Amino acid sequence: MLPSTLGVAASFPPNLNSNIRPCPDPNSHEPRRKTATFHSPNQVIPLLRRCNGIDQFPPVHAAILKTGVDRDPLLLFKILRLCSAFRSMDYAARIFDGIENPDVYHYTALIGGKIVAASSLDAIRLYARMVGEHIEPDPVVIAYVLKACGFRLALEEGRQVHGQVLKLKLGSERPIRMKLMEFYGRCGKFDDARWVFGEMPERDAVAATILISCYSDRGLIEEAEAVFDGVQDKDTVCWTAMIDGCVRNGRANRALKFFREMQRENVRPNEFTVVCVLSACSQLGALELGRWVHSYVGKYNIRLNTFVGSALIDMYTKCGILEEAQEVFSELAEKDAVSYNSMIVGLAMNGRSYEAVELYRLMITKGLRPTHITFVAVLNACSHSGLVDMGFEIFESMVKDHGLEPQIEHYGCMVDLLGRVGRLEEAYEFIKRMSIEPDHVIWGALLGACKIHGNLTLGEKVARILIDSEAADSGTYVLLSNVYASFRKWEEAARIRTKMKERGIQKEPGCSSIEVDNEIHEFLLGDIRHPRREEIYRKLEELNDALKLEGYTPARDVVLQDIEEEEKEWALAIHGERLAICYGLISTKPGTTIRVVKNLRVCGDCHSMIKLISKVTKRKIVVRDRNRFHHFEDGSCSCRDYW
């Protein structure tokens, strides 16, 4: 059934490495170079092992053909493995097609190479061809094809392979069970995955880790945790899988909880664990824990490679500590595009736009090829500082100098850049000229600019486009409502909110967090859950009185609701970032920098108020919102009120 379902691959795609020479033709009349002579396959195998690239293989292959040892099955298997290891699948396919009676080992070598070369569909078709030729599969090739089926989410084909496993009585083979569990998990068939897991006599940490990762890939963290809790002897990989799953699904606090438990169990983290924990610290702005992890790297001699180094740079920049990020960047013995990207992103987020552009130029000078992420970072830097001409120069260089086609994110950066400086009609025309279809994020960026610059006419035109879009998310609807409310069009604002409810779209609640004594404290609007809430609100009243003496008056116009003025003033006063700052003031020593992370864009009134708080308390306050960092000190902000 498998061959008829999948069909047989009639031809293979040409290899991208066009500079690789084809297999020598023994009948060619062209002059030949002098080649070595081999009398047995055993003489050839050591030479194959010494090949460092596929370009070193053709002379050896020519000698093999000349001396007639090219029919040896073991040697052909080794050659196929060599070609596959170097991802030269065109060469491997031609050698394979020349084998008169390929056996399961030859098929295994080529199927494995196809998977390494990310050609899983070809791997499945090859397996179908093998079965069609009545060659009995062994556990190794079955494990390979199940992996390919998992990559392709080829559920029907994978079930057929499972049927063959049962027919051949290979179900007790541990590698096959592991691959079956992974295959069903990748396809979202968790009942089947758990059945395979339950049938395993050795349900150890390795098997559980596969299931944990599959659940995490689908965002099923509670289910992953249930499997994790059932493991008796958890190893480093199992702990890391659980931590990574939490991080990837936005459960950074949960990830740190597991890391602390891992420490208590005396399980030593590896570099992958460290990177996952640093990523959690980055999400939460947990600087002190991030610093502790950094010291752990040095203490236990975890290598500061680009993988770990980039995670450290990302952590420090997302905690607003550029100096320490730059120290890590300088310490890296080898810097690749990923480490440069991390540093450029960090500089851009923290308002150091010119430095970000200079580092991008240094990266080019060093001969490193920029990636799509590089250009998102450097274009964001231009946007944060209104560098329009520089931004367009860099944008145009993507195709002209680096052969990279702009993606939706790059177009979004350019629309944001034009919108921030008030060139709204130009931004609108730019969107209409885009070579790809604009999404709701791009239209939302223009709509936000219309709100800031008070262009209701264009704003309503963009709003109609967004309302007709089925892809709009909660942020888009909230922005639409806020635009109408900012022009006091309360009925239109209410209509958008009603449409949100009809479509079952929930508004993301604003949340601000602060790290104190290695613990993350979160605050929502008007939060009264904190055990020190009475002290927090007393400090808030005290600050309000002090700020009024400094001339602060609430900007009620930023409250986009049709309510009384006094209610607007109170709604502003209880924003989560203000509560987080008050908690920081009562919980830390005078002079300590207060660092707050907010999941939404900071409002204009909070921005004005925090500037004054930094002045009257003589504290440096760092706020990271959805877009960037704000470093408040002595009554001013690093963004220069341009955000």
| 36 and 163 both lie in a single domain | yes
Q: Which one of 472, 502, 532 terminates a domain?
A: 502
- CATH code for the domain of 138: 1.25.40
Short-list 427, 411, 430, 407, CA closest to 419: 427
CB neighbourhood size of 561 (10 A) = 13
148: left (phi over 0), alpha (psi -120 to 50) or beta: alpha
| Angstrom distance (rounded) from CA 393 to CA 292 | 41
| Angstrom distance (rounded) from CA 429 to CA 439 | 15
Q: Exposure pattern of 209-223 as b/e (b: 16+ CB <10 Å)?
A: bbbbbbbbeeebbeb
> DSSP character for 467?
H
| 412 and 528 both lie in a single domain | no
Number of domains in the chain: 3
Q: pTM for the whole thing?
A: 0.78
Judge whether residue 572 has pLDDT over 60: no
| 583 and 487 both lie in a single domain | no
What is the pLDDT averaged over residues 9-25? 33
Owning domain of residue 452? 407-502
| 34 and 131 both lie in a single domain | yes
| 522 and 628 both lie in a single domain | yes
| Angstrom distance (rounded) from CA 343 to CA 338 | 9
- CATH code for the domain of 459: 1.25.40.10
What is the pLDDT averaged over residues 217-233? 94
| 494 and 549 both lie in a single domain | no
Instruction: Assess if residue 371 is contained within a domain.
Output: no
- Higher-pLDDT residue of 465, 588: 588
Instruction: Assess if residue 158 is contained within a domain.
Output: yes
| 579 and 517 both lie in a single domain | yes
Among 35-49, 303-317, 383-397, 405-419, which is the least confidently predicted range? 35-49
Instruction: Assess if residue 490 is contained within a domain.
Output: yes
Give the percent of the chain with pLDDT over 70: 88
279 contacts 247 by C-beta, under 8 angstroms: yes
| 19 and 156 both lie in a single domain | yes
pLDDT of residue 153: 93
Q: Residue 375: what residue type?
A: F
What is the pLDDT averaged over residues 608-637? 93
| 475 and 587 both lie in a single domain | no
The per-residue pLDDT for range 366-401, each reduced to its tens digit, is 999 999 999 999 999 999 889 999 999 999 999 999
Instruction: Assess if residue 259 is contained within a domain.
Output: no
pLDDT of residue 34: 44
Q: Which one of 156, 179, 202 terminates a domain?
A: 202
**How far is CA 225 from its chain centroid?**
22
The per-residue pLDDT for range 404-436, each reduced to its tens digit, is 999 999 999 999 999 999 999 999 999 999 989
Binning pLDDT at 50, 70 and 90, where does residue 322 land?
very high
Judge whether residue 553 has pLDDT over 80: no
Short-list 292, 341, 336, 345, CA closest to 318: 345
221 contacts 246 by C-beta, under 8 angstroms: yes
Short-list 415, 338, 432, CA closest to 377: 338
Judge whether residue 560 has pLDDT over 70: no
Structural tokens at position 132: 């069609």
> How many residues in total does the chain contain?
643
Distances (CA, A) of 590 to 8, 383, 585, 636: 73, 35, 8, 19
- Higher-pLDDT residue of 568, 430: 430
Judge whether residue 323 has pLDDT over 90: yes
What is the pLDDT averaged over residues 94-103? 88
| Angstrom distance (rounded) from CA 520 to CA 500 | 32
| Angstrom distance (rounded) from CA 315 to CA 319 | 6
The per-residue pLDDT for range 348-365, each reduced to its tens digit, is 999 899 999 999 999 999
378 contacts 348 by C-beta, under 8 angstroms: yes
Hunting for tokens 């430095």 — which residue is that?
Answer: 355
Instruction: Assess if residue 170 is contained within a domain.
Output: yes
| 54 and 164 both lie in a single domain | yes
Among 31-40, 225-234, 380-389, which is the least confidently predicted range? 31-40
pLDDT of residue 24: 42
Which backbone phi and psi does 514 adopt, to 5 degrees? -145, 140
Instruction: Assess if residue 602 is contained within a domain.
Output: yes
| 519 and 452 both lie in a single domain | no
Instruction: Assess if residue 373 is contained within a domain.
Output: no
| Angstrom distance (rounded) from CA 556 to CA 274 | 45
pLDDT of residue 555: 57
| Angstrom distance (rounded) from CA 309 to CA 271 | 10
| Angstrom distance (rounded) from CA 356 to CA 393 | 15
Q: Which one of 159, 176, 202 terminates a domain?
A: 202
Among 37-41, 307-311, 314-318, which is the least confidently predicted range? 37-41
Judge whether residue 33 has pLDDT over 50: no
Short-list 367, 325, 327, CA closest to 349: 325
| 444 and 585 both lie in a single domain | no
**H, E, C per residue of 305-343:** CHHHHHHHHHHHHHCCCHHHHHHHHHHCCCCCHHHHHHH
Instruction: Assess if residue 173 is contained within a domain.
Output: yes
Binning pLDDT at 50, 70 and 90, where does residue 526 land?
confident
The mean of the pLDDT values for the chain is 85
pLDDT of residue 217: 94
Residue 338 makes CB contacts below 8 A (sequence gap 6+) with: 306, 307, 310
The per-residue pLDDT for range 152-210, each reduced to its tens digit, is 999 999 999 999 999 999 988 999 999 999 999 999 999 999 999 988 877 789 999 99
What is the pLDDT averaged over residues 32-42? 50
